[in-house]
Amino acid sequence: METVEISKQKPVKSQSMGREGEEEGGESGLDWEAINEYIVETEYDADISFKRVYHDATTIVIFIRHFLCFTAKEYVEDLAKIPKQSLEDKRVRLVIIGCGETKFMKRFRRDTGYWAEFYTDRTRELYKLMGCKISPDLGNLAVSKHTKSSFITGVVRSAIRSTAFPGEHQGDLEQQGGAFILGPGEKCHFAHIDRNGSDHYPINKLLDMVGVPNVRFAKDSGVLTV
């Protein structure tokens, strides 16, 4: 897949990988005036403007699906495997944005082991500004580098997790996510818009673009899951 190198400071390439693995690219602009002032929330119900996320550092920003989505959970579990020191050495920040109520965030952090910055956009207006799609499509789980569960196993595990908040969806079921490399300041170096729930951009490719060492994941060749 074609990528945009940060050092070249080119306009963002908007890319996504579809069900059959096809690649698409095209120039895409962001409405920085609207994006900068958009308010996101922390797990402690504090409001911050989105520009504070990326204003002073290169930042990997991941928009995820609802908090009960097992493909989103397993992607975030892999994000949690990135060593904090590796990011700090390169002055890179890691951020995820969810779309559920703040009351679900602490449980999601606990379930995934995610240690970095975490915000939510309950209205999903920021998702729209970033170009994220609305679709119920979960995609082909087999092609995802970060989804380990089968459909049945994933759904069962999500159902079990849902018992902590019975009858609540924990975010819009059709909201898709995306991956961005932003900052410092009003710069978008890379964008990937997920077409479906399995279309997460490979984490090691994101790390390559910011000069952070790769991480070994369960689906990597030679890694055994026991």
Band of pLDDT at residue 167, cut at 50, 70 and 90:
low
Give the residue-averaged pLDDT of 144-151. Answer: 76
Give percent of the chain with pLDDT exceeding 90.
60
Phi, psi of 143 (to 5 degrees): -85, -10
Band of pLDDT at residue 125, cut at 50, 70 and 90:
very high
What tokens were used for 79? 């994000």
Give the per-residue pLDDT at 5. Answer: 40
Taking the C-alpha atoms of residue 141 and residue 150, their distance in angstroms, rounded to an integer, is 7
Give the per-residue pLDDT at 171. Answer: 65
Taking the C-alpha atoms of residue 160 and residue 134, their distance in angstroms, rounded to an integer, is 25
Residues 6+ away with beta carbon under 8 Å from 62: 75, 76, 79, 94, 95, 96, 97, 177, 178, 179, 180
The pTM (predicted TM-score) of the whole model is: 0.81
Give the residue-averaged pLDDT of 89-104. Answer: 94
Give the per-residue pLDDT at 82. Answer: 97
- Please give the CATH topology (third level) of the domain spanning 6-209: Glutaredoxin (3.40.30)
Which tops the pLDDT comparison, 45 or 148? 45
Taking the C-alpha atoms of residue 175 and residue 65, their distance in angstroms, rounded to an integer, is 6
Find, among 206, 193, 6, 175, the residue nearest to 87 by Cα: 206
Taking the C-alpha atoms of residue 154 and residue 95, their distance in angstroms, rounded to an integer, is 24
Q: Is the pLDDT of residue 64 over 70?
A: yes
Give the residue-averaged pLDDT of 122-129. Answer: 95
SS (H, E, C) 28-40: CCCCHHHHHHCEE
Domain boundaries, the chain: 6-209
